[in-house]
Amino acid sequence: MKYNKLNGWTIVLLIISIGAIRAHKSEDETTTVERSSKKNVYALIMIDVQYCFINGSLALSNGPAGQDGAEVIPVINELIKKVPFDVFAYSLDWHPANHISFFENLESRKDYVLGGDHEKYQMFDAVTYTGPGLETTQILWPAHCIQDTDEAKLHEDLIRLPAGDNVVYINKGRNPNIDSYSAFLDNDKIEKTPLDNELKARNVTHVFVTGLALDYCVGSTAIDAINFGYKTYVIEDACRGVDGTAIEAKLNQLEQDGVEIVNSHQVEQIINSLNSKQNVIDTCTSNKRYDITDENQDDININNCQ
């Protein structure tokens, strides 16, 4: 009786183990299949091409670099018309009137200024607020891009594709107590905007970032894009920034983080060559002449699988 009972348990355990091994094996097989059929999906991300940064309350032309934000518009329009992107994402800086980033709100938030003495701060200084909510260091910008104002609109000359299956619009910086330079995450990296989910839902693999301002919102968006797993490009001539030194520093940081800095004229060629590489991988894997699992994508050429 005792012997039989033990035997029964052994059989049960054996069945469970075989099940686990088989499940593991089929999981491995699925992963391989998924990888080999992974298609490149390209998104154009356009950051904050709004009047506030072009001729409004935070116009780049008034910044130290004296740049003209409107100059990105023809470059981006050309990209939209000529390059076969699969997905288009527009972001808008979209602040409530009591936003933490506004110099004008320093007085009403003075109890949260680290070290007190709020009066010593000027426009464009960085202040550390101890709350409400989390501690955050914030540059004091002039009030800008207030929700539903005319200057918060995207510039009328920018091609604004209607929202739909392959076009998304993201409003950021809506939380009064935390700024959001990146179109993916707030500055404390706590709360996500819908952008990552919208891109993942469309299977986006590669993102090309453009817009305003390169040293702030464009740069932060590109770094988060890398961290969220996208192959990331910044199209330098489709961006303008606030401060020359900060722009240089940001470009260097982006490159170090693995972002590729490219020119708008290269983009179509980059996508074409990625697609032909992808076609080679697809042919090789469908012919089972090439093991996708240990391929080094950069070395692929048609001879590898012949």
Would you name the residues annotated as active-site residues?
48, 172, 217
Residues 78-117 that bind Zn ion (CB under 5 A): 93
Which of Zn ion, ligand VGL, none does 217 bind, CB closer than 5 to 8 A by kind? ligand VGL
- Residue position matching structure tokens 């780049």: 60
Number of residues that bind Zn ion (CB under 5 A): 1
Cβ neighbors of 193 (< 8 A, separation 6 or more) are 170, 171, 172, 180, 183, 184, 185
CA distance 73 to 98: 30
Nearest distance from C-beta of residue 229 to ligand VGL, angstroms: 23
Distance of CA 220 to the CA centre of its chain: 8
Residue 224 contacts Zn ion per CB under 5 A: no
Residue (174 or 231) nearer to Zn ion, CB: 174
Nearest distance from C-beta of residue 148 to ligand VGL, angstroms: 17
Which of ligand VGL, Zn ion, none does 48 bind, CB closer than 5 to 8 A by kind? ligand VGL
Which of ligand VGL, Zn ion, none does 213 bind, CB closer than 5 to 8 A by kind? ligand VGL
Residue 48 contacts Zn ion per CB under 5 A: no
Positions touching ligand VGL (CB under 6 A) are 48, 53, 93, 101, 141, 212-213, 216-217
Query: Taking the CB of residue 199, how many other CB atoms lie within 10 A of it?
Result: 23
- Residue position matching structure tokens 């110099």: 103
Residue (38 or 192) nearer to Zn ion, CB: 192
Residue (196 or 215) nearer to ligand VGL, CB: 215
Inter-residue contact 212 to 60 (CB < 8 Å): yes
Nearest distance from C-beta of residue 199 to Zn ion, angstroms: 22
Cβ neighbors of 208 (< 8 A, separation 6 or more) are 42, 43, 44, 45, 79, 85, 233, 234, 235, 262, 267
Residue (79 or 217) nearer to ligand VGL, CB: 217
Residue (204 or 211) nearer to ligand VGL, CB: 211
Nearest distance from C-beta of residue 238 to Zn ion, angstroms: 20
Nearest distance from C-beta of residue 69 to ligand VGL, angstroms: 10
Name beta bridge partners: 211. 47, 239
CA distance 222 to 244: 18
Residues 3-22 that bind Zn ion (CB under 5 A): none
Residue numbers at the binding site for Zn ion (CB under 5 A): 93
